[in-house]
Amino acid sequence: MPSQLSSGDLIASISADLADNNAGGISAYDVRHNMEDIAFSINKVVASGDTEVEFPFFNSVKVSSADSSSPSSSASYGDLIIDSGVFFPNATDVAKRTQRQTEPWLGDAGIDHDNLLNLSNDTHTQYYNRLGVDAARGNALLGNMATDQRWINTSGIANVGFQFVQTNGTATEQDINTSGNIKFMRDNSIIPNTAKGVAKAWCTFDASGVGNVPVVRSWHNIESIERLAQGKLKLTFTSGVFDANSYVAIGSANATTASGSQEDFSVNTVGLVLREGNAGPDDGSTKRTITYVIKNENGDYVDSERCDLVVYGYSPSETSGTPPTMIGL
C-alpha cells in the first residue's frame, strides 16, 4: 500500500532510496514504491497548501471538458467545485484580502441591488442617461427625482440655474429658485429675472351684487369684498401677499348697474383710497385692506355692475435694486 506523503517527505524518500547507483544498491522496489508514493500523494501535496509556499502555480490552471453540455452536477466532466470559498489576496481593498467569498457572482441580470454594500433599500427605481434619452433603450425618466435642494445647470456652479427648495415640513410645497431669465424658444420672449412685473392680486366683481352683497366673478389673492355703502367697498387681501402697504393699485368701473350692451357705461372715477393693515410683511393679525369708491360726473357715489382691480407690489422680503433718482425744481 503506497504512503500519502508531503512534498518534503517525498523528496527525502527519493534522496534516500535513489542515491547514486555506483554501488548498484538501487532495487526495483526502491523505484516502484517511490513512484507509487508520488502518485498517491499528488492530491495531498496540492490540497495541503504545499504549492502556496514552496511550489506555487505560475501558470493559469484550466479546467475543461470536451463535452461542455454535460451535467454540471457531475464531477467527472472537469468542473471546478468550491466547497468552502475563494480568497483574493491581491485585492485593491486590503481589508478584503482576508475575506472568504462564498457566494457566486450572479451575473449582470441576477445581482440583487439591495445586497450591494451601503445600498440597502436604495433600488434606484429609475436611471437618467447623462447623454439624454435613448429611444431604442427607452431610458426616459419614469419616476420622481429628488435633488436635495441642489442647483441644476450646465456648469456645476452653486447658486446658478434652477433650485427646488422645500417650504414646509411635508415636502408638498416647494419654491423654484432661478438665477437668470426664463426664455421661451418658440417666440424668443423673455420673463426677466424678477416677478415684480406680475400682478400680486386682482379681481373683477359686481359692486351692487345680490341683496347689497357684492358678487365676485374671478379673483387672485383677494380674501373678501365688503360693501360699505352705495359706491363704497373695502377689499381685503390674502395674508402674506405684500411686504408693506406701498403697493400699486389700479381700478376701473362702468358706473352703472346695467351691462346689457357695449354702451352700458357712465363716466366715472374710481378712487383707491384708504390702505390699512400691518405696516410690515407679517399681516396675519391685521390683514391689508383698501377702499374702492366709485363717483360719477356729478360727484355722487354710485354702484357699478362691472368693477376691476389690479394690484402690483413687493412680496415679503422682495427687493427692487437701486432706487430711481428723484429730481426737484
In sequence order, which residues have a C-beta less than 8 Å from that of residue 275 and are 6 or more positions away? 245, 288, 289, 290
Asked if residue 302 is part of any domain, the answer here is yes
| Residue where a domain stops, chosen among 53, 70, 87 | 53
Asked if residue 174 is part of any domain, the answer here is yes
Question: Are the C-beta atoms of residues 203 and 225 closer than 8 Å to each other?
Answer: yes
User: What's the domain count of the chain?
Assistant: 3
Query: 294 and 225, same structural domain?
Result: yes
Of 329, 230, 247, the residue nearest 288 (C-alpha): 247
Asked if residue 18 is part of any domain, the answer here is yes
Low-confidence ranges of the chain (pLDDT < 70): 21-24, 48-55, 65-77, 106, 113-143, 170, 193, 259-262, 279-284
Asked if residue 187 is part of any domain, the answer here is yes
Count of beta carbons in the 10 Å neighbourhood of residue 256? 19
Query: 253 and 179, same structural domain?
Result: no
Query: 155 and 212, same structural domain?
Result: no
pLDDT at 60: 78
pTM score over 0.95: no
| Boundaries of domain holding 229 | 201-312
pLDDT at 58: 73
Angle subtended by helix axes 7-17 and 28-47, to nearest 10: 170
Asked if residue 85 is part of any domain, the answer here is no
Separation CA 67–CA 79 (nearest Å): 11
Asked if residue 237 is part of any domain, the answer here is yes
Query: 279 and 215, same structural domain?
Result: yes
pLDDT at 220: 97
Angle at 277 between CA 275 and CA 280, to 5 degrees: 110
| Residue where a domain stops, chosen among 35, 53, 71 | 53
Q: Which amino acid is at 318?
A: E
User: Could you write out the DSSP letters of every residue in 50-72?
Assistant: HHHHTS---S------S-TTS-T
Q: Which three cell numbers stand for residue 78?
A: 472537469
